[in-house]
Structure 1
Amino acid sequence: MIRKPQQKPLAVFIAAQCLALTLGSQTAHAQDEDFAPSKAAPKTQSRLMEEVVVTAQKRTENVQDVPISLQAFSAEKLDALGITDQIELQRITPGLNVTEQVSYTITFLRGVGTDASIAADPSVATYIDGIYYPFSSNLAQNFGAVDRIEVLKGPQGTLFGRNATGGAIAIYTKNPEFDGFWGEALAEQSSFNTTQGRLHLNIPLGETVAISASALYTESDGFYEGKHDNASRDLHGDRAWGYRLKFRAQPTENLDINLAMSHLEMYLGAGTISYNNEPSDFVGSQVFGIEPQTGYYGEIDAEVLNETNPNEVIYGSMEYLAPWFTVKLLGSDQRMDTKGIRDLDGSPQPIAILNTPDQYIDAQSAELQILSNGEWGPDWMEWILGAFYFQAEQGFGEVDFQLLGLDLTQGTISGIQLPAALVNLLNTATMNNLPSGAFDLTGLVGTESRAAFAQATFNLTDWLDLTLGGRYQEEERFIVSSTVGLDTGNGRIEVADQSNSATDSNGNPYPAHDIQKDFTPKVSLQMRPFDDDTMIYLSWQKAIKAATYNTVAITEEPDYVAPEELTAYELGIKTNFFDGLIQLNAAIFDYSVKNLQTYYLSTFAGGIISFQNAGAAKIQGAEFDVVMPILPQWFDNLVLLGGAAYLDAVYEDFDNAYGYAEDGSFQNGDANYTGNRVIRTPELTGNLSLSKTWDFWGGPFEVAFDAYYSDEFYFEASNREASHQEAYWLLGSRVSYLYEDWDLRVTAGVRNLTDERYFTGFFASDWGTQATLSAPKSYSLQMLWNF
């Protein structure tokens, strides 16, 4: 909206003067309308002080003008903060909790999230270049050549749609440009024999056509050590490589066409390891004699791995600036194939091995947006209309579940070789159709979703705006395949086909095909009662996360998991002082969640994460983030970036729950977790980055220090001690020098300075718990060259 400048009232003027004195600024020349900084801007400005433009409401806006709680980071700011992947975002984003388990990126934002697998959808939606990514696997990858990242907090049901109950993370990669050839090359060497490389090239093919190419490669020995395959071989390392190709054309001044393709391959060996650190009391320790393995070294009996080959996405967009409005079209075709082997018991004993040789998601999406552009219609209203289509098939085309080392085709039971004569006799008698001892399961879910959405902002006065929005969605969710079989020497014996049956949470029959029809509204007030630099917003909105089915099961029929529904109230403020030098944002919020989708895992449910509904949960909290110079009268470019979040998140109704008791025994729908804390939700998190930049010979020299704090939390809804993560601090530091003549930056850094041990992932089974430890203290040396 175009607004007339407002004068600052006396109270705000006095507050600003007091803050200036606290900072040590000289404000003698500050005028009533605009407060100037205390001294002329230095030659080199801190990279933490960059202003970021966002598209959180599908149009280009300054981050401080968007009535949504969000944090945005440019590529330059991410580099200054030492952030290279999605897991590290939590170090700079209050209220965000990101971990990784067996290559799945698990994201919780303000207490809302999903221990997602390929068979379920994340509650915090991920978008790359405006395209919705429905899977959580392998998202914890190097960001590559990004332009910016936006973390949108709170439900985004109107504009971002399905499965954005917790929020959204929007990643924007660099688009091709027409104004010349340029490139970026990065090389990094760090601890644990880790090598990382990245290359980005921008190639103009004329005044209106350009292409770009980005490539990345990482390789690491990993920080976990040990033996696998009956303790006879060392663990394998990790590697990943990929590329992104983009084509851009502007055949007319009103038309912008972008086409892209991304390809990623990943192999995790040591990166998928976690040892049984706390065996269950009876099954794990007494029956099978599993010993705890609590450090970085251990032994297992399976050659564990997780391999993605490939994760491939073809996508594009077209934007047309018509005389009346702007039209945007977006579409994608996505395919990800993954296979893995996991030692479910996490010990050297041959007890339980999970093999998923055919794990995939095949998805297509299309979106239409029509936006006001100021050329037509009243100038007191901004609006957007849109439609969205999505279809997918996802899950497990094959799951092999090996139990107690039984393999009669090889003549072994629990690793003990049977007499050859007996094996030959049995094979002859059954015509080589002996069972291998492995269950052969399938579990695939299909989705078809259609939605229409609209949002309009009305400029009621020169200081008050009203935003109204809504999204109507029809989504079909259905079981494609759910079968149980036994592997044999000649193939597979079908035991049960459950593809046309399902039960609800109470065990009652439920159709294997479900249609949801939902409307999610939004109302927001934006006020600037003091001046144009201070916005107060108040919002109410709803969001829906799709229903799903637990389709992988051995002893029970597949069951239906109801959609997750969230209602949110939020009050926030965004304000700037001294021409934007100081930026302070804060918010308080209240969430009511119905049918919160929460995970559990049991061996006889197929060894795959399953989901259940917590009847109700309540999440209340407050947070703030700030960027400001420190004592600018005495120090140039000494900048603080920080924030904190407080969350009170509890299950208000969670009866008839599945999970593990304190002794590790499985509670099969007879537990009550009402009153427990919501999983992966620390009560308090906070971050602080302090950076100082000096003008040095040849270019700027930068020193930075980071601190991140997480309060205690639980990985399981039972809140048992085995899933308890204690509070921890994470410290790091970097020094950086930019030689401006070559545009070459060299950075040396250290992570986890105090060698803190905390969990970055958690996995529970009937045999015990497997918690993935954080990386120890590590060092890195990086060179970044822009040419």
Structure 2
Amino acid sequence: MSFGQTDAAELDGPSVNAPAAAAPAARRTTSRLLEEVVVTAQKREESVQDVPVSIQAFSGEKLDALGITDQVDLQRITPGLNVTEQVSYTITFLRGIGTDATIAADPSVATYIDGIYYPFASNLAQNFGSVERIEVLKGPQGTLFGRNATGGAIAVHTKNPEFDGFYGEALAEIGSFDSTQGRVHVNVPILDDVAMSATALYSTTDGYYEGRHGNPRRPVDGDTAKGYRIKLRAQPTEDLDINLAAVHMEMYIGEGSTGYTAEPSLLGQTLGIEPQRGYKGELDTLTLNDTDANDVYYGSIEYFAPWFTFKLLGSDQRMDTTGVRDFDGSAQPISTLATPSQYIDAQSAEVQFLSNGEWGPSWLEWIVGGFYFEAVQGFEELDFSLLGLDLTSGSIAGLTLPQPLVSLVNALLGQNLPSGAFDLVGLIGTESKAVFAQTTISFTDWLDLTLGGRYQEEERYIVRSSAGLDTAGGRQELFDNSDRATDSEGNPYPATDLQKDFTPKVSVQLRPFDNDTMIYLSWQEAVKAATYNTVVIYDQPDYVAPEELEAWELGIKTSFYDGAIQLNAAVFDYDVENLQTYYLSLFAGGVISFQNAGAARIRGFEFDGFMPLFPNVIDNLALIGGMSFLDAQYEEFDGASGYDENGTFQQNEDYSGNDVIRTPSMTATASLSKTWNMDGGPLELAFDAYYTDEFYYEASNRDVSRQESYWLYGSRLSYLYERWDLRTTLSVRNLTDERYTAGFFASDFGTQPTLAAPRSYALQVIWNF
């Protein structure tokens, strides 16, 4: 991912960016799991225990101790978080709010990296790199994080350049499935007030799928990722801090885009598709997903004025991806989905003015700011092929086709329809402007009131939506749907939508006992942008209404024994209107589509914390963990589209009363760690456990989309040789070889789950120099 903004010196405990000689003493005296992290969840530095928001924060040292390297791993240590991957897309749900997002839509859990908003879900599960800390903000963040943060936000902060000396970190890892990983990070002071840092990373794996693809068949390709980050920092005066960064990533995913049809639909069975339920299978198409360029340029300017602190942030982001998927997931030559040109081009800017205690009353804390974002995203070319299928009869294998599709195919027969190969374009534009403000008033030492609000104007518009035909002479245009949008009832709708929203927040914070215990009650609203279904074959693009959420939360944050024990808990209630939900079907008139669930209700309770165990008897035995309980249902979801138990696409269904997708009733995490002070340095043994109840991948809640409950276990043995500051770690994941899904894809031909990795081992060495 991209990389860092807050100095390591701002964290409690030793700086992870400090020279290596300063660190060993701290590592010898306490477990790496027991720490409190300074966060910026309210755009200013605060202890996590002082923020009236449900938040879990992990420093880079703690992430290393827990074996966390990417966004998918975060769910193993964050109750209520569900993260899966499908065709290189990272799909994140938090407390039941999320979107099966692709590049044509926006996630409902916003991702920020070094204060910069990342609008896309593709390839976010890459290696985090050299991380300062990660913050998981639960619940809507509509005031300060604003755009598309209805479910929450994940904020990644990476290491900033420092002026105090040359130092760095080198990582090397080998593991199961012929996987290798390497990373180097160096900090280089240039002048007394100028420094730079550079990080390079590379990883490769053969993968755990052993299938054969293509015609003739060939083994499945593995995955490769490589990239770099360069950061430049200058402090020309003690009041001015300037940071600039450039990030380049490349990813090639072969086996990661694999999806075999495990449960063929009625149509799939009729066409001869056989179930392929394991790690081995055959496809007639060579599958891949190739991000040949993910370039991000960003920067920040921070000025500490006598009256306030001023921050300016900006970014320019571009990602280009190509991919090929076997749409039917079988060895039969039926259907292929290819995206030769898929991209997002986005720019953002944010300005903030924050109180710094130098001016104004001491009982008043405030922030005001503005945000601007523009982007064009989607598919410049998407090729959808139905190879060798005769659509002219009005049915396939006895299933009736939509009449508009039959009419289209019959009309094209005189124009030499080449095997049903459609060339589609679907591009969406966005321009978003917002102003926001939040203030905290301290009436007494034990009573605070926080008031906030955000006003946003966002325009979403169809850049282009067209359907064409690939012929020997090139692309032949069939329909230009760019000005032919409809609403959910099929009525004409403008191809541009201007949405104006004000999202308020009110929070009361109490410290009725002492400064170690805070109770808060908050109410807030958040909005996720509207969109259009622009990828269509024979129908008009559908308008998808904005997602709106109202949330109540009552929480407590407390600690005991001078912070050695920490416990946070919250109960919450969400009302959601127009929850955006995803499905795919040829028979719906397109390939990738979103629909609105009229209303959903999510209620829950969760807690997390850490503590030393038996400190008077056993040194450095630590436990961290938490649990989440959710009741998430669609209260109103009529007129829905999806698949029935036979896998046949249906419209105008009623899913009211069904469970919200990707939302288990309970999740639990725990990690137990013991550290021994050995000759030469500390030896650390850790054991992890993660549990999730069953959940559904589809709003229809049909059996074939249910992920049954499962347990995951892992363990790590780590030794730090302090003289060289060299840490060696042996780890095992999925200790009991549990079989579960890491992603899920449903089409007219059946379901294609992507299985998670079986038991795996890794040996890692990290050298700080």
- Superposed CA deviations along residues 265-320 of structure 1, whole A, max 9, x for unmatched, are 00000111010000002x1102x010000000000000100000111100000000
Structure 2 counterpart SS, 1:225:
coil
Q: Given that residues 297 and 315 in structure 2 are in contact (C-alpha distance below 8 angstroms), is that contact kept between their aligned partners in structure 1?
A: yes
Residue 284 of structure 1: aligned partner = 268
The answer to whether residue 64 in structure 2 is matched with residue 85 in structure 1 is no
Within 5 A, what are the aligned runs for 1:122-521?
A: 122-230=107-215, 232-281=217-266, 283-286=267-270, 288-405=271-388, 435=418, 437-521=420-504
- Superposed CA deviations along residues 367-396 of structure 1, whole A, max 9, x for unmatched, are 000000001111100000000000000000
Whole-angstrom distance in 1 between the partners of 2:415 and 2:456: 52
Structure 1 counterpart SS, 2:33:
helix
The answer to whether residue 625 in structure 2 is matched with residue 642 in structure 1 is yes
Whole-angstrom distance in 2 between the partners of 1:551 and 1:513: 12
Aligned AA (2:725): D
Structure 1 counterpart SS, 2:486:
coil
Structure 1 counterpart SS, 2:482:
coil
Residue 420 of structure 1: aligned partner = none
**Which residue, 713, 720, 725 being the options, matches 2:702?**
720
Aligned AA (2:253): L
Deviation of residue 231 (structure 1)? 5.2
**Which residue, 732, 736, 746 being the options, matches 1:764?**
746
Whole-angstrom distance in 2 between the partners of 1:500 and 1:586: 49
After superposing on structure 2, the runs of 4+ consecutive aligned residues of structure 1 that deviate more than 3 Å are 430-437, 604-608
Aligned AA (1:285): Q
Aligned AA (1:76): E
Change (3 A) 1:662 1:406: closer
Within 5 A, what are the aligned runs for 1:535-550?
A: 535-550=518-533
- Please say which structure displays the higher CA radius of gyration: 1
Whole-angstrom distance in 2 between the partners of 1:390 and 1:73: 29
Within 5 A, what are the aligned runs for 1:627-706?
A: 627-668=610-651, 670-706=652-688
Residue 541 of structure 2: aligned partner = 558
Deviation of residue 603 (structure 1)? 2.2
Whole-angstrom distance in 2 between the partners of 1:636 and 1:322: 46
Change (3 A) 1:432 1:197: farther
Deviation of residue 206 (structure 1)? 1.2
The answer to whether residue 565 in structure 2 is matched with residue 582 in structure 1 is yes
Q: Given that residues 539 and 590 in structure 2 are in contact (C-alpha distance below 8 angstroms), is that contact kept between their aligned partners in structure 1?
A: no
The answer to whether residue 765 in structure 2 is matched with residue 780 in structure 1 is no
Aligned AA (2:766): L
Structure 2 counterpart SS, 1:49:
coil
Aligned AA (1:772): T
Residue 55 of structure 1: aligned partner = 40
- Superposed CA deviations along residues 583-623 of structure 1, whole A, max 9, x for unmatched, are 00000000000000011110245764310000000000000
Deviation of residue 556 (structure 1)? 1.3
**Which residue, 591, 599, 606 being the options, matches 2:582?**
599
Change (3 A) 1:443 1:605: farther
Structure 2 counterpart SS, 1:284:
helix
In structure 1, list runs of 5 or more residues that go unmatched.
1-40, 408-429
Whole-angstrom distance in 2 between the partners of 1:458 and 1:44: 39
Aligned AA (1:129): D
Whole-angstrom distance in 2 between the partners of 1:374 and 1:334: 35
Q: How much is the aligned-residue C-alpha RMSD, in angstroms?
A: 1.6
**Which residue, 593, 599, 610 being the options, matches 1:610?**
593
Q: Given that residues 552 and 605 in structure 1 are in contact (C-alpha distance below 8 angstroms), is that contact kept between their aligned partners in structure 2?
A: no
Whole-angstrom distance in 2 between the partners of 1:88 and 1:672: 35
**Which residue, 713, 728, 747 being the options, matches 1:746?**
728
Deviation of residue 437 (structure 1)? 3.3
Q: Given that residues 57 and 135 in structure 2 are in contact (C-alpha distance below 8 angstroms), is that contact kept between their aligned partners in structure 1?
A: yes
Deviation of residue 42 (structure 1)? 10
Change (3 A) 1:636 1:502: same
Whole-angstrom distance in 2 between the partners of 1:698 and 1:45: 16
Aligned AA (1:748): L
Whole-angstrom distance in 2 between the partners of 1:67 and 1:160: 15
Structure 2 counterpart SS, 1:77:
helix
Whole-angstrom distance in 2 between the partners of 1:580 and 1:608: 53
- Superposed CA deviations along residues 522-581 of structure 1, whole A, max 9, x for unmatched, are 000010000000000000000000000000011311000000000000000000100100
**Which residue, 689, 695, 704 being the options, matches 1:707?**
689
Q: Given that residues 42 and 636 in structure 1 are in contact (C-alpha distance below 8 angstroms), is that contact kept between their aligned partners in structure 2?
A: no
Whole-angstrom distance in 1 between the partners of 2:210 and 2:99: 29
Q: Given that residues 436 and 489 in structure 1 are in contact (C-alpha distance below 8 angstroms), is that contact kept between their aligned partners in structure 2?
A: no
Whole-angstrom distance in 1 between the partners of 2:253 and 2:666: 32
Q: Given that residues 383 and 456 in structure 1 are in contact (C-alpha distance below 8 angstroms), is that contact kept between their aligned partners in structure 2?
A: yes
Whole-angstrom distance in 2 between the partners of 1:786 and 1:44: 19
Aligned AA (1:291): E
Structure 2 counterpart SS, 1:580:
coil
Deviation of residue 495 (structure 1)? 0.6
Structure 1 counterpart SS, 2:485:
coil
Whole-angstrom distance in 2 between the partners of 1:42 and 1:751: 24
Deviation of residue 348 (structure 1)? 0.5
Aligned AA (2:573): D
Whole-angstrom distance in 2 between the partners of 1:688 and 1:542: 32
Whole-angstrom distance in 2 between the partners of 1:143 and 1:179: 25
Q: Given that residues 680 and 713 in structure 1 are in contact (C-alpha distance below 8 angstroms), is that contact kept between their aligned partners in structure 2?
A: yes
The sequence identity of aligned pairs, in percent, is 72
Change (3 A) 1:654 1:434: closer
Structure 2 counterpart SS, 1:469:
strand
